Chains A and B, each alone.
Chain A
Amino acid sequence: MAASPEQPAHATAGRGTRRGATPWTRRRRVGYAFVAPVFLFLCAVVVFPLLHAFWTSLHRVRGLASTFVGAQNYVRVLTDDAFWHSLAVSLEFTGTCVALHMTIGLGLALLLDQLRFARTALRIAFLTPWMVAPAIGATIWLWMLEPQFGVVNYLLQAAGVIAAPLAWLGVPSLAFASVVAVDVWRGTPFVMLLMLAGLQTIPREQYEAAAIDGASAGQRFRYVTLPNLRYLLVVASTLDVINTIRHYDTIGVMTAGGPAGATEVLPVLLFNTAFRGNRFGEAAAIGVLLMLIVLVFAIFHIRFTRADLENAR
């Protein structure tokens, strides 16, 4: 066990000087005993599989046999049009969803923040799409979007929006719009909750002062609400990008990437490459590339919230 830098005097005070050790090294050892299990377990369930994923990305895996192929999987993935197409779909999907999550989420938060009663009940009600497993939510939407008997086609026809039933998940552009809509339904409450929490930290005096100065509702939003929420808006959108770009379940259940790859975001491409194409090396390479994209946002998020992490709560 290494001597602590703060207690160099005890470095030489090993076993036997007193019964066991000095109080400081003993304290340290007890501390290690408390944190060691989690460390070992995390190494086993996160770090080791992660390293294994890197290893796989450098090999060609065929059943039990695997041969080292260096960067060949990466070259293959990066020269494959499917990857670049999928990256474009991912960016378009994530960009659209996050923009909608943020605007609608902020709008809902502003709406709920001012209500005088039933606030908790409404907050819970608005959160339900986010509570339910994404795979289950997607299943409900599969039924609602069903071309022949789905309620969405019926309602839109009844309202005169569409003339004939549409195959929502059968046409590329409609399928993309559909999975975006479902993800907006599922993901917006997360942003709404964050924004509600943020709105509650804005001092009322700032609004009162603005009102005394004759600011309109729009001006109060522009000059009081937005500046106060700026930090949170950045945090929420970064987290939302991270959560959306790696999300598999919704699209996995609804379209599995189809039709014609229109909804094949990177996580879905990865899944299809591994478990439909049986090309684990390439799938792992896609995973590593996806991780690098997520990492850019994660590092930004961590640097941005550094002060908060240090004194969380």
Chain B
Amino acid sequence: MKARRGYDRARWALTIAALLLVAFPFYWMINTSLKPASEIFLSPPTFVSAHWSLDAYATVLTKRPVGRYFVNSLVVALGTTLISVTLAALAAYGFTRFFPRGATPFIVFLLFTKMLPETLLIVPYFELMSDLGLLNTYAALILAYSSFALPFAVWMLIGFFRSIPRDIDEAAMIDGASYLQAFCRVILPLARPGLVAVALFTFLIAWNSYLWALVLTTDSSMYVLSVGVANMVGEYRVQWNELMAAAVIAALPVMVLYSLLERHLVDAITSGAVKG
């Protein structure tokens, strides 16, 4: 029993040490974001400060276009989610109900598209969007984001729809419902938990995306948060407290939403990889 307890203690000590390492960058981000500009370049740096305030956040939101970046991220991520989840729900229903055997080759195709290097696709996307005059538009970003969000959403939703017994919609149709009615009134409500989870994932993946927006926007008023924040580093004199405040604004919603999704996280990553 004593050995067991010692073992447990060692385990906890290791866990906490690992946690400190993992979490330190976030602590440093928040700590820096709360400091006044004069304290950023102190040596040794302060780990806790009596001068902590939200000034940097106020500056970033009023004097810098971070609010604008936030809105851009929101519009693009929401647009991508709306398109992806709508189309994916239709396709997932179609595949699981009408072509159950066709679903596997389609899933393999989706898997390939999910594995394409995004750097390969940004070249044609840049060419096509500039030809179409769509650089610096939400439309370009939403279309580009759909190229990785849609395969993901279809893939996840096929999994969810497979778990809804087909007897249920067949029963509805025996009662006289059309396919579309069965889909809208019976299946969609049943699939709601899955739809919500997939929508949140799609939103987060879109929100976190960087490279596409980096290439498809040149006008700083169209930057999304990830691009806007990363670009602030290149400025003449970097205000690290402001930069970290902007990073918190970009990162915090993601952390909260992902934590809510914790239950589905394993499924999302492993669908097809782990059974059970």
Select which of B162, B215, B243, B255 is within 8 A of A312 by beta carbon: B162
Chain B neighbourhood of A144, CB < 8 A: 25, 28
By the criterion CB–CB under 8 Å, are B274 and A133 in contact? no
Q: Tell me whether A133 and B28 are in contact in the complex, defined as CB-CB below 8 angstroms, given that A45-B146, A284-B123 are known contacts.
A: no
Q: Tell me whether A312 and B107 are in contact in the complex, defined as CB-CB below 8 angstroms, given that A139-B233, A140-B28, A149-B41 are known contacts.
A: yes
Chain A min CB distance to B144 (Å)? 7
Q: Which residue of A lies closest to B99 (CB)?
A: A31
Interface residues on A, range: 35 or more
By the criterion CB–CB under 8 Å, are A197 and B119 in contact? no
A258 to B34, CA, bound (A): 31
Q: Tell me whether A149 and B43 are in contact in the complex, defined as CB-CB below 8 angstroms, given that A50-B121, A128-B22, A309-B108 are known contacts.
A: yes
Q: Which residue of B lies closest to A47 (CB)?
A: B113
Chain A min CB distance to B241 (Å)? 10
Chain B min CB distance to A230 (Å)? 13
A253 to B255, CA, bound (A): 21
For the complex, is B254 an interface residue (Cβ under 8 Å from A)?
Answer: yes
Q: Which residue of B lies closest to A55 (CB)?
A: B124
Binary contact readout B148-168 vs A (1 if CB under 8 angstroms, 0 otherwise): 001100100011101100000
By the criterion CB–CB under 8 Å, are A185 and B124 in contact? no
Number of A-B contacts (CB under 8 A): 285
Q: Tell me whether A42 and B40 are in contact in the complex, defined as CB-CB below 8 angstroms, given that A194-B273, A274-B123 are known contacts.
A: no
Q: Interface size on B (CB < 8 Å)?
A: 101
For the complex, is B54 an interface residue (Cβ under 8 Å from A)?
Answer: no
Q: Which of B115, B207, B211 has the most CB of A within 10 A?
A: B115
By the criterion CB–CB under 8 Å, are B265 and A41 in contact? no
Q: Which residue of B lies closest to A235 (CB)?
A: B273
Chain B neighbourhood of A61, CB < 8 A: 127
Select which of B88, B91, B124, B273 is within 8 A of A308 by beta carbon: B273
Q: Which residue of A lies closest to B147 (CB)?
A: A45
For the complex, is A158 an interface residue (Cβ under 8 Å from B)?
Answer: yes
By the criterion CB–CB under 8 Å, are B240 and A143 in contact? yes
Chain A neighbourhood of B122, CB < 8 A: 271, 274
Selecting from A7-15, A75-83, A93-101, A288-296, the interface stretch reads: A288-296
Interfacial residues of chain A within 254-282, with CB under 8 A of chain B in the complex: 266-267, 270-271, 274-275, 280
Select which of A31, A35, A114, A246 is within 8 A of B118 by beta carbon: A246
Chain A neighbourhood of B174, CB < 8 A: none
By the criterion CB–CB under 8 Å, are A45 and B143 in contact? yes
Chain A neighbourhood of B118, CB < 8 A: 246, 248
Chain A neighbourhood of B208, CB < 8 A: 132-136
Selecting from A118-126, A172-180, A208-216, the interface stretch reads: A118-126
A1 to B94, CA, bound (A): 17
Interface residues of A (CB under 8 A from B): 27-28, 30-35, 37-39, 41-42, 44-46, 49-50, 52-53, 56, 61, 64, 108, 111-112, 114-116, 120, 122-129, 131-144, 146, 148-149, 151, 154, 158, 185, 190, 193-194, 196-198, 201, 232, 235-236, 239, 242, 245-246, 248-249, 252-253, 266-267, 270-271, 274-275, 280, 283-284, 287-288, 290-291, 294-295, 298, 301-302, 305, 308-310, 312-313
For the complex, is B133 an interface residue (Cβ under 8 Å from A)?
Answer: no
Chain A neighbourhood of B45, CB < 8 A: 149, 151, 154
For the complex, is B38 an interface residue (Cβ under 8 Å from A)?
Answer: no
For the complex, is B68 an interface residue (Cβ under 8 Å from A)?
Answer: no
Chain B neighbourhood of A137, CB < 8 A: 25
Q: Other CB < 8 Å A-B pairs besides A132-B254, A132-B255, 9 of them? A: A34-B93, A45-B150, A56-B127, A122-B15, A131-B254, A133-B226, A143-B244, A154-B44, A197-B274
For the complex, is B191 an interface residue (Cβ under 8 Å from A)?
Answer: no
Chain B neighbourhood of A310, CB < 8 A: 104
Q: Tell me whether A114 and B90 are in contact in the complex, defined as CB-CB below 8 angstroms, given that A133-B209, A151-B45, A201-B274 are known contacts.
A: no
Select which of B113, B119, B258, B274 is within 8 A of A267 by beta carbon: B119
Q: Would you mind naming 25 contact pairs between A and B with Cβ atoms under 8 Å apart?
A: A35-B91, A35-B94, A35-B99, A37-B90, A50-B124, A111-B18, A114-B11, A125-B19, A126-B18, A127-B258, A132-B250, A133-B210, A136-B208, A136-B230, A149-B240, A232-B273, A242-B115, A246-B115, A246-B119, A249-B210, A271-B122, A290-B119, A294-B116, A308-B275, A309-B104
